[in-house]
Structure 1
Amino acid sequence: MKNNLHIITGNKGFVGLNLTTYLSKANKPFIGVSRNPNDNEISYTSLSVEDFNTSKSCIHLAGKAHDLKKTSDDSEYYKVNTELTKSLFDQFLQSDCEIFIYMSSVKAAADEVVGVLTEEVIPNPVTVYGKSKLAAEEYILSKEIPTNKRVYILRPCMIHGPNNKGNLNLLYSFVAKGIPYPFGKYENKRSFVSVENLCFIINELIDNKKIKSGIYNIADDVSLSTTDLVRIIGKTINRPSKVLQIPKFMVSIIAKIGDVLPLPVNSERLQKLTENYEVSNEKIKKEIQKDLPLSTEEGIIKTIASF
């Protein structure tokens, strides 16, 4: 049926798998775009303007994630995160497709946050990952959007959900093994977004023509400290969560040793666990005018329960 399909790039990734399940339940047919397509998918090279003409939306999730081991070549980030996005967006503009949703990242705006991150911040990414995402954003924003089309740039913070462990896995292993969490001296606040809330928002963007085109931060309603997370994990798996108040200078020494030796903690991981990174979701909440399905704690509990 004309203009009934939803193109989803990166449909085999964590967000993609969750989104395709979510859209299926909402009776929204989709076509996956993949580098190695299965029977019900197409490749990027064979994707055409005609495919866009028969689609209502293109949800561009595919991208090269931040490589913590720093083994990736910088050009790879721009090839995948920037140039692929530009190519897809050009096809979208040439077609009858109505909606383009680009999955960017808060890291396109800032690697460190003072206060609370809003969409009004002047972007200043430090990593090549963030810079490549921002370059794609800037290309999209440089184009004139026809009045019959809607374009959304989403900047999610740390996404989690069932079977996606990420940094939560390290905290989980601390609690599950009865190892005390050693960073109790650090007081921080971090924003998270559950993949269910993210899928809910994408579905709203598809359905609600009143939501204005633009950049939107995506986060759950409440930020949590890492110590809060440790306690939620303990409660979820019914294990006591122990928090130690080790002096910060000692923790820093241990992390520096972890940069050289294979310890569970190194400098980068310490920063991720203890930094402040609060993200405002007020702009998108004002637009959708609905409550998110999951509270911050409910989302964390669902993720931890899947481990």
Structure 2
Amino acid sequence: MNKSRVLVTGANGFVGRALTEKLLASDSFLPVGAVRDPASGPLQAERIFYELENGLSVEALRDVDTIVHAAARVHVMKVSQSDDLTAFRKANVEGTLKLAHSAAQAGVRRFIFISSVKVNGEQTLPGKPYLATDTPAPVDAYGISKSEAETALRDLAAETGLEIVIIRPPLVYGPGVKANFQKLLGWVHSRLPLPFGSITNRRSLVALENLVDLILHCISHPAAPGNIFLVSDGTDFSTTQLFQGVARALDVRSSLIPVPQRLLAAGLIVLGRRALATRLCGSLQVDIKRTCELLGWAPPVGSQQALDRVAKDYLETKKK
């Protein structure tokens, strides 16, 4: 049986690597990793050189059936906001469109764009989760660039017939996770008292395994093209519940001090940490009902099971 060739951009990244490994284990797909350094990393798939801003040639995509565009500029530059937005647009909008135009010319069937819940916004009201049909309201340069890329891709689909699928994940966590979630693991593992014992917000997260499973569904499902999909584990946490779940996964006692949520948020804002206050005390929920109904999909991994896997990887890494 001929395997369907799936090109994954950012195949050495957190999401791209997990997806590529899953595709390698499949009997139906042949992954091709598009990466900046084809010689780096342990990835066993075929690899080609790829720079985010420059796209790929038509010839490089001739035998590709599906592209999963997981590569993106995500880091904020320490420059002015306008220069920052320009840099994000060059990579996440212009670079994405170059790749998609080549895909359409090469006869690629489907283009799956890994976007971000930041296209919806930064914070939800109680009981008002984001919907895929909501009017985009991005706040930062990254979210704006992802929103503009989505619009341009839908326009290209109308012109060329390229099947566009858009997935907007919230925070993704899993074995090997870095940045803020890695800090959270370290805070809990330290067993130091933390002032997060009375936070009643609600936040949606998505385990890496669940996001990868949804992407796999979108590669072949006939209902996927032309749609925007929100994704999560299907269970939302308060910050307090998340810290408690991580403590259980690490098998340590949760040491959370019940500081009133408003007092904690106000203190962080006074200290110039408004963004941290939003992440810790604000809500950001997504409604995945439409995703599940259209694709006949459900998250295969429960939240606590996913946290257990993250904790196991974290502890094993610390031993090395």
**TM-score of the superposed pair, with normalisation by structure 1:** 0.89
1:305 to partner: Cα distance: 2.2
2: distance between equivalents of 1:97 and 1:33? 15
2: distance between equivalents of 1:225 and 1:118? 20
Kindly report which structure 2 residues correspond to 1:210-229, keeping only aligned pairs within 5 A, or say none: 210-229=223-242
TM-superposition CA deviations, 1:225-273 (whole Å, max 9, x none)? 11111111111121110221224565346525754xxxxxx33223212
Q: Where does residue 306 of structure 2 map in the other structure?
A: 299
Contact 2:9 2:71 in 1 (8 A): yes
2:194 equivalent to 1:181: yes
Kindly report which structure 2 residues correspond to 1:83-122, keeping only aligned pairs within 5 A, or say none: 83-114=94-125, 115-122=128-135
1:216 to partner: Cα distance: 0.9
Which of these residues, 143, 152, 173, is aligned with residue 130 of structure 1?
143
Q: Where does residue 166 of structure 1 map in the other structure?
A: 179
Give the AA of the match of 1:157: P
SS at match of 2:172: strand
More moved, 248-257 vs 181-190: 248-257
Count the aligned residue pairs: 301
2:56 equivalent to 1:47: yes
SS at match of 1:143: helix
Give the AA of the match of 2:64: S
Give the AA of the match of 1:232: G
Q: Given the superposition, is the C-alpha separation of residues 42 and 172 from structure 1 closer, same or farther in structure 2, using an over 3 Å criterion?
A: closer
TM-superposition CA deviations, 1:60-95 (whole Å, max 9, x none)? 111111439678833210111110111111112222
2:74 equivalent to 1:61: no
Kindly report which structure 2 residues correspond to 1:17-28, keeping only aligned pairs within 5 A, or say none: 17-27=17-27, 28=29
2: distance between equivalents of 1:106 and 1:191? 10
2: distance between equivalents of 1:271 and 1:180? 21
1: distance between equivalents of 2:197 and 2:266? 16
Contact 2:3 2:30 in 1 (8 A): no
Task: List structure 1 segments (4+ residues) > 6 angstroms apart after TM superposition.
Answer: 68-72
TM-superposition CA deviations, 1:142-192 (whole Å, max 9, x none)? 234489752101101111110103322333223211112202232111000
1: distance between equivalents of 2:15 and 2:78? 22
1: distance between equivalents of 2:260 and 2:287? 31
2: distance between equivalents of 1:247 and 1:274? 10
Contact 1:52 1:58 in 2 (8 A): no
**TM-score of the superposed pair, with normalisation by structure 2:** 0.85
Give the AA of the match of 2:207: S
Structure 1: state its 5+ residue gaps: 260-265
1: distance between equivalents of 2:77 and 2:86? 16
Q: Given the superposition, is the C-alpha separation of residues 178 and 85 from structure 1 closer, same or farther in structure 2, using an over 3 Å criterion?
A: same
More moved, 68-77 vs 170-179: 68-77
2: distance between equivalents of 1:103 and 1:191? 17
1:36 to partner: Cα distance: 3.2
Contact 1:151 1:214 in 2 (8 A): yes
Q: Where does residue 212 of structure 2 map in the other structure?
A: 199
TM-superposition CA deviations, 1:118-149 (whole Å, max 9, x none)? 01111111111111111101101123448975
Over the matched positions of the two proteins, sequence identity in percent amounts to 26
1:220 to partner: Cα distance: 1.3
SS at match of 2:65: strand
TM-superposition CA deviations, 1:199-226 (whole Å, max 9, x none)? 1111111122243421111211111111
Q: Given the superposition, is the C-alpha separation of residues 155 and 25 from structure 1 closer, same or farther in structure 2, using an over 3 Å criterion?
A: same
2: distance between equivalents of 1:201 and 1:100? 14
1: distance between equivalents of 2:35 and 2:183? 30
2: distance between equivalents of 1:285 and 1:78? 31
2:89 equivalent to 1:78: yes
Give the AA of the match of 1:185: S
Contact 1:180 1:243 in 2 (8 A): yes
Give the AA of the match of 1:37: P
Structure 2: state its 5+ residue gaps: 40-45, 315-320
